[in-house]
């Protein structure tokens, strides 16, 4: 077993992001990175997720900079309808309003992922189209009561009960859930941390 400290630090409090990163088998530790997630006036959604993700990565990097070979991974997810960024619901009314906006139509989910290290930083943005079936106000209210929408961008979780609303998706399922694994693996490979690299000689 490899008992050296992992090079990779996931700057996220999201349990979904940790679960997704575990899925591709890379070793990592978790750190917190608190940043201001308020969109700027007129900021395009793609620019917004890129900026917030980069800020999370840099905030994480400030905590581990001294560690040799350290890398910090961070991500941010925004649900976008009619160019409007839907964040996490503030309360029940806000959540039901969001469901009304998503019901019976397509929206975009933008997730950015950043990798920050001593050699610099790289950010990728992944865009996915999600189509919802019509959702009645009564269903939206019962969904709120399930507790699931509370800490989720757009007020739903594709990996949970929210899946019953998702008629189709074009793009990346893992990105909608919070971490685009294809783009993450590509960034890690560029930094010499390929999930499928052969084990180092002598590692057992």
Ligand X SMILES: Cc1cn([C@H]2C[C@H](O)[C@@H](COP(=O)(O)OP(=O)(O)OP(=O)(O)O)O2)c(=O)[nH]c1=O
Annotated catalytic residues are: 76
Binding mask 44-63 for ligand X (x = CB under 6 A): ------------x-------
Q: Measured from the CB atom, is 109 or 193 closer to ligand X?
A: 109
Structure tokens at 5: 């400290």
> Is residue 13 at the binding interface for ligand X, with CB under 6 A as the rule?
yes
Q: Which helix (H) or strand (E) covers residue 183, if one does?
A: helix 181-190
Binding flags for ligand X, 125-164, as an x/- string (CB under 6 A): --------------------------xxxx-xxxx--x--
Strand extents, DSSP E, the chain: 8-11, 28-31, 71-81, 84-86, 106-117, 120-132, 166-170
Least separation in angstroms between CB 74 and ligand X:
7
Q: Least Å distance between CB 203 and ligand X?
A: 30
Please state the separation of Cα 95 from the chain's center in Å.
19
162: helix, strand or coil: helix
Does the footprint of ligand X cover residue 116 (CB under 6 A)? no
Burial class (CB in 10 A: 0-12, 13-18, 19+), 137: exposed
Residues contributing to the site for ligand X (CB under 6 A): 12-14, 16-17, 37, 56, 75-77, 79, 109, 151-154, 156-159, 162, 176-178
């Amino acid at each position: 077993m490899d008992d050296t400290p992992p090079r990779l630090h996931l700057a996220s409090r999201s349990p979904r992001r940790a679960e997704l990163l575990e899925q591709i088998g890379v070793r990592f530790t978790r750190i917190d990175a608190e940043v201001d997630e308020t969109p700027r006036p007129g900021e395009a959604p793609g620019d917004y997720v890129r900026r917030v993700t980069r800020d999370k990565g840099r905030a994480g990097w400030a905590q581990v900079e001294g560690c040799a070979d350290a890398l910090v991974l961070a991500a941010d997810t925004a649900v976008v309808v009619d160019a409007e960024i839907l964040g996490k619901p503030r309360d029940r009314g806000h959540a039901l309003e969001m469901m009304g906006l998503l019901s019976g139509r397509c929206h975009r989910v933008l997730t950015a992922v950043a990798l920050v290290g001593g050699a610099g930083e790289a950010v990728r943005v992944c865009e996915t189209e999600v189509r919802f079936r019509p959702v009645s106000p009564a269903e939206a209210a019962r969904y709120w009561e399930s507790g699931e929408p509370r800490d989720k961008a757009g007020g739903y979780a594709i990996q949970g009960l929210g899946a019953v609303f998702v008629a189709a998706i074009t793009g990346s399922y893992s990105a909608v859930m919070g971490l685009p694994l294809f783009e993450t693996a590509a960034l890690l490979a560029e930094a010499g941390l390929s999930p499928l690299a052969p084990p180092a000689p002598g590692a057992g």
